[in-house]
Amino acid sequence: MPVHSQFRLLGQRRFLPFYLTQFSGAFNDNLYKNALLLLITYQAGGLMGLSINVVVNIAAFLFILPFFLFSGIAGQMADRYEKAWIIRRVKAAEIGIMSLAALALWFGWYELLLVLLFLMGAQSTFFGPVKYSILPRVLANDELVGGNGLVSMGTFVAILLGTIAAGVIAGAEQAARITAVAVLVMAVLGYLAARKVPDTRDEAPEVMVRFRPLLETWRLMAVARERPKVLGAILAISWFWFLGAAYLTQFPNFAKTWLAGDETVVTLLLAMFIMGISAGSMLCERLTKHRITLAPVPWGALGLTLLGIDLFFAVPANPEPSTWLSLMTEPVYIRVLLDLVGIGICGGLFIVPLYAFIQYETPDHKRARIIAALNVINSLFMVASAIAGILVLGVFDLGIPTFFLILSLVNALVWVSVLGLRRRAAQSVDN
Protein backbone atom coordinates (compact mmCIF):
# COMPACT_ATOMS: atom_id res chain seq x y z
CA MET A 1 0.00 0.00 0.00
CA PRO A 2 1.44 3.46 -0.91
CA VAL A 3 2.81 5.45 2.01
CA HIS A 4 0.28 8.25 1.49
CA SER A 5 -2.76 6.07 0.81
CA GLN A 6 -5.79 7.08 2.84
CA PHE A 7 -6.54 3.40 3.52
CA ARG A 8 -3.47 3.13 5.75
CA LEU A 9 -5.44 5.21 8.30
CA LEU A 10 -7.73 2.21 8.80
CA GLY A 11 -4.81 0.39 10.39
CA GLN A 12 -4.02 3.12 12.90
CA ARG A 13 -5.56 3.60 16.33
CA ARG A 14 -5.78 7.37 15.96
CA PHE A 15 -8.39 6.84 13.20
CA LEU A 16 -9.83 3.30 13.10
CA PRO A 17 -11.79 3.30 16.41
CA PHE A 18 -13.39 6.64 15.53
CA TYR A 19 -14.20 5.35 12.03
CA LEU A 20 -15.88 2.23 13.42
CA THR A 21 -17.77 4.34 15.96
CA GLN A 22 -19.26 6.66 13.37
CA PHE A 23 -19.96 3.76 10.98
CA SER A 24 -21.89 1.82 13.62
CA GLY A 25 -23.83 4.95 14.60
CA ALA A 26 -24.89 5.74 11.04
CA PHE A 27 -25.84 2.09 10.47
CA ASN A 28 -27.89 1.93 13.67
CA ASP A 29 -29.68 5.23 13.00
CA ASN A 30 -30.85 4.03 9.61
CA LEU A 31 -31.66 0.51 10.77
CA TYR A 32 -33.82 1.88 13.57
CA LYS A 33 -35.54 4.64 11.55
CA ASN A 34 -36.35 2.47 8.56
CA ALA A 35 -37.38 -0.55 10.62
CA LEU A 36 -39.70 1.66 12.68
CA LEU A 37 -41.30 3.16 9.57
CA LEU A 38 -41.80 -0.29 8.02
CA LEU A 39 -43.30 -1.66 11.22
CA ILE A 40 -45.67 1.29 11.50
CA THR A 41 -46.64 0.93 7.85
CA TYR A 42 -47.17 -2.82 7.69
CA GLN A 43 -47.98 -3.88 11.26
CA ALA A 44 -49.20 -0.97 13.36
CA GLY A 45 -51.29 0.55 10.56
CA GLY A 46 -51.00 4.06 11.99
CA LEU A 47 -50.89 5.32 15.57
CA MET A 48 -53.10 7.39 17.86
CA GLY A 49 -55.86 7.42 15.25
CA LEU A 50 -53.58 9.06 12.68
CA SER A 51 -52.98 7.86 9.13
CA ILE A 52 -49.73 6.16 8.16
CA ASN A 53 -48.64 9.14 6.04
CA VAL A 54 -49.10 11.52 8.96
CA VAL A 55 -47.22 9.23 11.36
CA VAL A 56 -44.32 8.82 8.90
CA ASN A 57 -43.97 12.58 8.61
CA ILE A 58 -44.20 13.00 12.39
CA ALA A 59 -41.37 10.46 12.70
CA ALA A 60 -39.20 12.41 10.26
CA PHE A 61 -39.95 15.64 12.15
CA LEU A 62 -39.10 14.11 15.55
CA PHE A 63 -35.69 12.93 14.32
CA ILE A 64 -34.68 16.26 12.81
CA LEU A 65 -36.12 18.52 15.58
CA PRO A 66 -33.19 18.01 18.01
CA PHE A 67 -30.76 19.47 15.45
CA PHE A 68 -32.61 22.79 15.74
CA LEU A 69 -32.98 22.61 19.51
CA PHE A 70 -29.61 21.33 20.67
CA SER A 71 -26.97 22.01 18.02
CA GLY A 72 -25.81 25.18 19.76
CA ILE A 73 -25.29 23.35 23.04
CA ALA A 74 -23.67 20.38 21.27
CA GLY A 75 -21.19 22.66 19.52
CA GLN A 76 -20.29 24.42 22.77
CA MET A 77 -19.73 21.10 24.56
CA ALA A 78 -17.56 19.73 21.73
CA ASP A 79 -15.38 22.86 21.86
CA ARG A 80 -15.29 22.91 25.69
CA TYR A 81 -14.61 19.27 26.57
CA GLU A 82 -12.18 16.63 25.34
CA LYS A 83 -13.67 15.06 22.23
CA ALA A 84 -13.00 11.37 22.93
CA TRP A 85 -14.71 11.87 26.31
CA ILE A 86 -17.80 13.23 24.56
CA ILE A 87 -17.80 10.39 22.03
CA ARG A 88 -17.79 7.77 24.79
CA ARG A 89 -20.64 9.48 26.65
CA VAL A 90 -22.72 9.85 23.51
CA LYS A 91 -22.27 6.18 22.64
CA ALA A 92 -23.10 5.15 26.22
CA ALA A 93 -26.32 7.17 25.89
CA GLU A 94 -27.06 5.26 22.68
CA ILE A 95 -26.95 1.99 24.63
CA GLY A 96 -29.52 3.37 27.07
CA ILE A 97 -31.79 4.63 24.29
CA MET A 98 -31.53 1.38 22.36
CA SER A 99 -32.21 -0.67 25.49
CA LEU A 100 -35.53 1.15 25.84
CA ALA A 101 -36.09 0.78 22.10
CA ALA A 102 -35.49 -2.96 22.33
CA LEU A 103 -38.16 -3.24 25.05
CA ALA A 104 -40.58 -1.12 23.05
CA LEU A 105 -39.98 -3.17 19.91
CA TRP A 106 -40.32 -6.44 21.81
CA PHE A 107 -43.69 -5.48 23.28
CA GLY A 108 -45.01 -3.32 20.45
CA TRP A 109 -45.03 0.03 22.26
CA TYR A 110 -44.96 2.10 19.08
CA GLU A 111 -45.74 5.45 20.71
CA LEU A 112 -42.64 5.06 22.89
CA LEU A 113 -40.62 4.22 19.76
CA LEU A 114 -41.50 7.64 18.34
CA VAL A 115 -40.30 9.34 21.53
CA LEU A 116 -37.07 7.34 21.32
CA LEU A 117 -36.67 8.48 17.71
CA PHE A 118 -36.46 12.03 19.09
CA LEU A 119 -33.80 10.88 21.56
CA MET A 120 -31.85 9.20 18.76
CA GLY A 121 -31.94 12.50 16.90
CA ALA A 122 -30.63 14.23 20.03
CA GLN A 123 -27.83 11.68 20.33
CA SER A 124 -26.88 12.28 16.68
CA THR A 125 -26.99 16.03 17.30
CA PHE A 126 -24.35 15.78 20.04
CA PHE A 127 -22.18 13.40 18.01
CA GLY A 128 -22.23 15.53 14.84
CA PRO A 129 -19.92 18.39 15.91
CA VAL A 130 -17.39 15.93 17.32
CA LYS A 131 -17.48 13.77 14.19
CA TYR A 132 -15.83 16.34 11.94
CA SER A 133 -14.04 18.55 14.48
CA ILE A 134 -11.95 15.66 15.81
CA LEU A 135 -10.33 14.89 12.45
CA PRO A 136 -7.95 17.90 12.38
CA ARG A 137 -6.85 16.90 15.88
CA VAL A 138 -5.78 13.40 14.87
CA LEU A 139 -4.78 13.88 11.21
CA ALA A 140 -2.10 15.96 9.55
CA ASN A 141 -3.14 18.58 6.99
CA ASP A 142 -2.07 16.31 4.11
CA GLU A 143 -4.31 13.55 5.53
CA LEU A 144 -7.48 15.61 5.95
CA VAL A 145 -8.91 15.06 2.46
CA GLY A 146 -8.25 11.32 2.61
CA GLY A 147 -9.66 11.03 6.13
CA ASN A 148 -12.79 12.94 5.19
CA GLY A 149 -13.15 10.75 2.12
CA LEU A 150 -13.11 7.63 4.29
CA VAL A 151 -15.63 9.13 6.72
CA SER A 152 -17.93 10.17 3.86
CA MET A 153 -17.68 6.73 2.25
CA GLY A 154 -18.29 4.98 5.58
CA THR A 155 -21.29 7.13 6.40
CA PHE A 156 -23.05 6.54 3.08
CA VAL A 157 -22.25 2.82 3.00
CA ALA A 158 -23.62 2.54 6.55
CA ILE A 159 -26.79 4.33 5.42
CA LEU A 160 -27.16 1.85 2.56
CA LEU A 161 -26.50 -1.23 4.69
CA GLY A 162 -28.77 -0.02 7.50
CA THR A 163 -31.59 0.63 5.04
CA ILE A 164 -31.16 -2.78 3.38
CA ALA A 165 -30.95 -4.54 6.75
CA ALA A 166 -34.20 -2.90 7.87
CA GLY A 167 -35.93 -4.11 4.71
CA VAL A 168 -34.61 -7.66 5.08
CA ILE A 169 -35.57 -7.85 8.75
CA ALA A 170 -39.03 -6.42 8.02
CA GLY A 171 -39.79 -9.50 5.94
CA ALA A 172 -39.04 -11.88 8.82
CA GLU A 173 -41.75 -13.44 10.99
CA GLN A 174 -40.46 -11.86 14.23
CA ALA A 175 -39.30 -8.60 12.63
CA ALA A 176 -39.80 -6.38 15.68
CA ARG A 177 -37.89 -8.68 18.02
CA ILE A 178 -35.05 -9.23 15.57
CA THR A 179 -34.78 -5.45 15.20
CA ALA A 180 -34.75 -5.11 18.98
CA VAL A 181 -31.73 -7.38 19.29
CA ALA A 182 -29.96 -5.86 16.28
CA VAL A 183 -30.14 -2.21 17.38
CA LEU A 184 -28.98 -3.05 20.90
CA VAL A 185 -26.06 -5.16 19.67
CA MET A 186 -24.96 -2.39 17.28
CA ALA A 187 -25.13 0.18 20.08
CA VAL A 188 -22.90 -1.98 22.29
CA LEU A 189 -20.42 -2.53 19.44
CA GLY A 190 -20.31 1.21 18.80
CA TYR A 191 -19.57 1.91 22.45
CA LEU A 192 -16.78 -0.68 22.52
CA ALA A 193 -15.20 1.00 19.50
CA ALA A 194 -15.59 4.42 21.15
CA ARG A 195 -13.65 3.26 24.19
CA LYS A 196 -10.61 2.81 21.96
CA VAL A 197 -10.68 6.36 20.56
CA PRO A 198 -7.50 8.07 21.86
CA ASP A 199 -7.80 11.21 23.95
CA THR A 200 -7.28 14.40 21.98
CA ARG A 201 -6.28 16.54 25.00
CA ASP A 202 -8.04 19.61 23.62
CA GLU A 203 -10.18 20.95 26.45
CA ALA A 204 -11.00 24.68 26.29
CA PRO A 205 -12.23 25.81 29.74
CA GLU A 206 -12.85 29.34 28.47
CA VAL A 207 -15.75 28.12 26.28
CA MET A 208 -19.02 28.52 28.15
CA VAL A 209 -21.79 25.91 27.84
CA ARG A 210 -25.21 27.50 28.20
CA PHE A 211 -28.42 25.47 28.19
CA ARG A 212 -30.48 27.82 26.03
CA PRO A 213 -31.53 25.57 23.15
CA LEU A 214 -32.95 27.85 20.46
CA LEU A 215 -30.93 30.93 21.42
CA GLU A 216 -27.60 29.09 21.29
CA THR A 217 -28.55 27.51 17.96
CA TRP A 218 -29.29 30.96 16.59
CA ARG A 219 -25.94 32.24 17.85
CA LEU A 220 -24.20 29.53 15.85
CA MET A 221 -25.08 31.50 12.75
CA ALA A 222 -23.06 34.46 14.04
CA VAL A 223 -20.05 32.19 14.59
CA ALA A 224 -20.36 30.83 11.04
CA ARG A 225 -20.60 34.34 9.53
CA GLU A 226 -17.26 35.36 11.04
CA ARG A 227 -15.46 33.66 8.12
CA PRO A 228 -17.22 34.33 4.78
CA LYS A 229 -15.28 31.65 2.86
CA VAL A 230 -16.20 29.05 5.47
CA LEU A 231 -19.84 30.15 5.34
CA GLY A 232 -19.74 29.76 1.57
CA ALA A 233 -18.43 26.20 1.97
CA ILE A 234 -21.15 25.47 4.53
CA LEU A 235 -23.88 26.66 2.17
CA ALA A 236 -22.40 24.59 -0.67
CA ILE A 237 -22.44 21.42 1.47
CA SER A 238 -26.00 22.15 2.59
CA TRP A 239 -27.05 22.52 -1.03
CA PHE A 240 -25.68 19.05 -1.70
CA TRP A 241 -27.80 17.69 1.15
CA PHE A 242 -30.80 19.50 -0.39
CA LEU A 243 -30.04 17.79 -3.69
CA GLY A 244 -29.24 14.40 -2.15
CA ALA A 245 -32.37 14.42 0.02
CA ALA A 246 -34.46 15.19 -3.05
CA TYR A 247 -33.03 12.23 -4.97
CA LEU A 248 -33.23 9.77 -2.08
CA THR A 249 -36.78 10.77 -1.13
CA GLN A 250 -38.08 10.33 -4.68
CA PHE A 251 -36.34 7.02 -5.46
CA PRO A 252 -39.26 4.76 -4.36
CA ASN A 253 -41.88 6.54 -6.46
CA PHE A 254 -39.40 7.15 -9.30
CA ALA A 255 -38.68 3.41 -9.46
CA LYS A 256 -42.35 2.43 -9.33
CA THR A 257 -43.88 5.07 -11.63
CA TRP A 258 -41.16 5.97 -14.12
CA LEU A 259 -39.20 2.72 -14.35
CA ALA A 260 -42.12 0.32 -13.71
CA GLY A 261 -39.86 -1.34 -11.15
CA ASP A 262 -40.52 -3.54 -8.13
CA GLU A 263 -39.06 -3.12 -4.62
CA THR A 264 -35.64 -4.43 -5.71
CA VAL A 265 -35.29 -1.54 -8.16
CA VAL A 266 -35.52 0.98 -5.30
CA THR A 267 -32.67 -0.77 -3.50
CA LEU A 268 -30.60 -0.85 -6.69
CA LEU A 269 -31.08 2.89 -7.32
CA LEU A 270 -30.04 3.64 -3.75
CA ALA A 271 -27.03 1.33 -4.05
CA MET A 272 -25.85 2.89 -7.33
CA PHE A 273 -26.17 6.42 -5.94
CA ILE A 274 -24.29 5.61 -2.72
CA MET A 275 -21.62 3.57 -4.50
CA GLY A 276 -21.02 6.61 -6.69
CA ILE A 277 -20.67 8.94 -3.69
CA SER A 278 -18.27 6.48 -2.06
CA ALA A 279 -16.15 6.25 -5.21
CA GLY A 280 -16.08 10.04 -5.62
CA SER A 281 -15.08 10.45 -1.98
CA MET A 282 -12.19 8.04 -2.44
CA LEU A 283 -11.01 9.82 -5.60
CA CYS A 284 -10.61 13.15 -3.83
CA GLU A 285 -7.30 12.30 -2.16
CA ARG A 286 -5.71 11.35 -5.48
CA LEU A 287 -7.10 14.36 -7.33
CA THR A 288 -6.03 16.84 -4.65
CA LYS A 289 -2.62 15.18 -4.17
CA HIS A 290 -3.10 15.35 -0.38
CA ARG A 291 -3.55 19.13 -0.43
CA ILE A 292 -6.35 21.22 1.07
CA THR A 293 -7.85 22.57 -2.14
CA LEU A 294 -11.31 23.11 -3.60
CA ALA A 295 -10.11 22.32 -7.14
CA PRO A 296 -12.40 19.24 -7.56
CA VAL A 297 -15.50 21.07 -6.28
CA PRO A 298 -16.45 23.02 -9.46
CA TRP A 299 -15.96 19.87 -11.55
CA GLY A 300 -18.24 17.97 -9.18
CA ALA A 301 -20.84 20.73 -9.40
CA LEU A 302 -20.65 20.77 -13.21
CA GLY A 303 -21.09 16.99 -13.32
CA LEU A 304 -24.13 17.18 -11.04
CA THR A 305 -25.78 19.53 -13.53
CA LEU A 306 -24.85 17.75 -16.76
CA LEU A 307 -25.62 14.24 -15.52
CA GLY A 308 -28.85 15.41 -13.89
CA ILE A 309 -29.97 16.83 -17.24
CA ASP A 310 -29.01 13.60 -18.99
CA LEU A 311 -31.01 11.62 -16.42
CA PHE A 312 -34.12 13.53 -17.49
CA PHE A 313 -33.63 12.40 -21.09
CA ALA A 314 -32.59 8.86 -20.07
CA VAL A 315 -35.92 7.98 -18.44
CA PRO A 316 -37.78 5.67 -20.86
CA ALA A 317 -41.07 6.96 -22.25
CA ASN A 318 -42.86 3.62 -22.02
CA PRO A 319 -41.06 1.43 -19.47
CA GLU A 320 -41.71 -2.28 -19.26
CA PRO A 321 -42.12 -3.91 -15.81
CA SER A 322 -38.61 -4.21 -14.42
CA THR A 323 -36.55 -5.80 -11.67
CA TRP A 324 -33.02 -5.05 -10.49
CA LEU A 325 -31.70 -7.57 -13.02
CA SER A 326 -33.46 -6.03 -16.00
CA LEU A 327 -32.16 -2.59 -15.01
CA MET A 328 -28.61 -3.92 -15.14
CA THR A 329 -28.98 -5.79 -18.41
CA GLU A 330 -31.31 -3.75 -20.66
CA PRO A 331 -29.76 -0.73 -22.45
CA VAL A 332 -32.81 1.46 -21.90
CA TYR A 333 -32.22 1.30 -18.16
CA ILE A 334 -28.41 1.12 -18.04
CA ARG A 335 -28.14 4.79 -18.99
CA VAL A 336 -30.27 5.69 -15.95
CA LEU A 337 -28.00 3.68 -13.67
CA LEU A 338 -24.84 5.19 -15.14
CA ASP A 339 -26.26 8.68 -14.63
CA LEU A 340 -27.02 7.91 -10.98
CA VAL A 341 -23.55 6.50 -10.39
CA GLY A 342 -22.04 9.56 -12.08
CA ILE A 343 -24.18 11.92 -10.00
CA GLY A 344 -22.97 10.12 -6.89
CA ILE A 345 -19.30 10.36 -7.95
CA CYS A 346 -19.68 14.08 -8.61
CA GLY A 347 -21.36 14.47 -5.22
CA GLY A 348 -18.35 12.89 -3.52
CA LEU A 349 -15.98 15.18 -5.42
CA PHE A 350 -18.16 18.09 -4.37
CA ILE A 351 -18.49 17.62 -0.60
CA VAL A 352 -15.26 16.00 0.63
CA PRO A 353 -12.90 18.90 -0.26
CA LEU A 354 -15.43 21.31 1.24
CA TYR A 355 -15.43 19.47 4.58
CA ALA A 356 -11.62 19.42 4.65
CA PHE A 357 -11.53 23.14 3.80
CA ILE A 358 -13.89 24.01 6.67
CA GLN A 359 -11.80 22.00 9.12
CA TYR A 360 -8.58 23.63 7.92
CA GLU A 361 -9.91 27.19 7.94
CA THR A 362 -11.55 27.18 11.39
CA PRO A 363 -9.67 27.70 14.68
CA ASP A 364 -9.58 24.82 17.15
CA HIS A 365 -11.63 26.60 19.82
CA LYS A 366 -14.55 27.31 17.43
CA ARG A 367 -14.40 24.39 15.03
CA ALA A 368 -17.08 22.24 16.68
CA ARG A 369 -19.53 25.14 16.85
CA ILE A 370 -19.03 25.85 13.17
CA ILE A 371 -19.66 22.17 12.41
CA ALA A 372 -22.79 22.41 14.57
CA ALA A 373 -23.88 25.43 12.51
CA LEU A 374 -23.32 23.33 9.39
CA ASN A 375 -25.59 20.62 10.83
CA VAL A 376 -28.36 23.16 11.50
CA ILE A 377 -28.15 24.61 7.99
CA ASN A 378 -28.07 21.08 6.52
CA SER A 379 -31.29 20.32 8.38
CA LEU A 380 -32.92 23.52 7.11
CA PHE A 381 -31.95 22.69 3.54
CA MET A 382 -33.33 19.15 3.85
CA VAL A 383 -36.64 20.52 5.14
CA ALA A 384 -36.63 22.98 2.23
CA SER A 385 -35.96 20.04 -0.10
CA ALA A 386 -39.07 18.28 1.15
CA ILE A 387 -41.12 21.47 0.67
CA ALA A 388 -39.74 21.87 -2.86
CA GLY A 389 -40.75 18.29 -3.63
CA ILE A 390 -44.26 18.93 -2.35
CA LEU A 391 -44.61 22.07 -4.48
CA VAL A 392 -43.15 20.67 -7.71
CA LEU A 393 -44.70 17.21 -7.52
CA GLY A 394 -47.88 17.87 -5.56
CA VAL A 395 -48.98 21.41 -6.33
CA PHE A 396 -47.63 21.81 -9.87
CA ASP A 397 -47.79 18.07 -10.71
CA LEU A 398 -44.69 18.16 -12.93
CA GLY A 399 -43.37 14.64 -12.44
CA ILE A 400 -40.19 13.34 -10.83
CA PRO A 401 -37.93 13.50 -13.94
CA THR A 402 -38.89 17.15 -14.37
CA PHE A 403 -38.15 17.75 -10.68
CA PHE A 404 -34.69 16.26 -11.18
CA LEU A 405 -34.21 18.48 -14.24
CA ILE A 406 -35.16 21.62 -12.30
CA LEU A 407 -32.70 20.70 -9.55
CA SER A 408 -29.96 20.22 -12.12
CA LEU A 409 -30.61 23.61 -13.70
CA VAL A 410 -30.61 25.34 -10.31
CA ASN A 411 -27.35 23.53 -9.56
CA ALA A 412 -25.82 25.38 -12.52
CA LEU A 413 -26.08 28.54 -10.39
CA VAL A 414 -24.33 26.69 -7.56
CA TRP A 415 -21.56 25.75 -10.02
CA VAL A 416 -21.01 29.45 -10.75
CA SER A 417 -20.93 30.19 -7.01
CA VAL A 418 -18.37 27.51 -6.20
CA LEU A 419 -16.14 28.75 -9.01
CA GLY A 420 -15.94 32.04 -7.12
CA LEU A 421 -15.45 30.24 -3.81
CA ARG A 422 -12.66 28.18 -5.36
CA ARG A 423 -10.82 31.34 -6.42
CA ARG A 424 -11.18 32.96 -2.98
CA ALA A 425 -10.13 29.78 -1.17
CA ALA A 426 -7.02 29.44 -3.35
CA GLN A 427 -5.64 32.61 -1.80
CA SER A 428 -5.42 30.94 1.61
CA VAL A 429 -4.75 27.23 1.03
CA ASP A 430 -3.41 26.65 -2.50
CA ASN A 431 0.28 27.11 -3.25
CB within 8 Å of 362: residues ≥ 6 apart? 227, 230, 370
Q: How many residues does the chain have?
A: 431
Mean pLDDT, the chain, as a whole number? 90
Render pLDDT for 374-392 as a digit per residue (tens, 0 to 9). 999 999 999 899 889 989 9
User: Distance (Å, rounded) from C-alpha 402 to C-alpha 257?
Assistant: 13
pLDDT score, position 146: 93
The whole-number average pLDDT for the span 360-374 is: 91
Residues 259 and 336: beta-carbon distance below 8 Å: yes
pLDDT digits (tens, 9 = 90+) for 314-353: 999 888 888 889 899 998 899 999 999 999 999 999 999 9
Lowest mean pLDDT among 58-72, 126-140, 273-287, 306-320: 58-72
pLDDT at residue 1 greater than cutoff 80: no
Contacts of 309-313 spanning 24+ positions with Cβ under 8 A: 309/405, 309/408, 309/409, 310/335, 310/339, 311/336, 311/339, 311/340, 311/343, 311/401, 311/404, 311/405, 311/408, 312/401, 312/402, 312/404, 312/405, 312/408
- Whether residue 294 is predicted with pLDDT greater than 90 in this model: the reply is yes
From 9-23, 137-151, 207-221, the region with the lowest mean pLDDT: 207-221
Q: At what angle do helices 400-429 and 228-253 cross, to 10 degrees?
A: 160
* The pLDDT of residue 208: 84
The pLDDT tens digits for 295-317 are 999 999 999 999 999 999 999 98
- The pLDDT > 70 percentage for the chain reads 94
Closest CA to 25 of 113, 88, 103, 108: 88
Residue 392 φ then ψ, to 5°:
-70, -45
Q: Is the pLDDT of residue 416 over 90?
A: yes
- The pTM assigned to this predicted structure is 0.90
User: Does position 430 have pLDDT exceeding 50, yes or no?
Assistant: no
C-alpha–C-alpha distance, residues 21 and 37, integer Å: 24
Window from 55-64, 95-104, 174-183, 258-267 with minimum mean pLDDT: 55-64
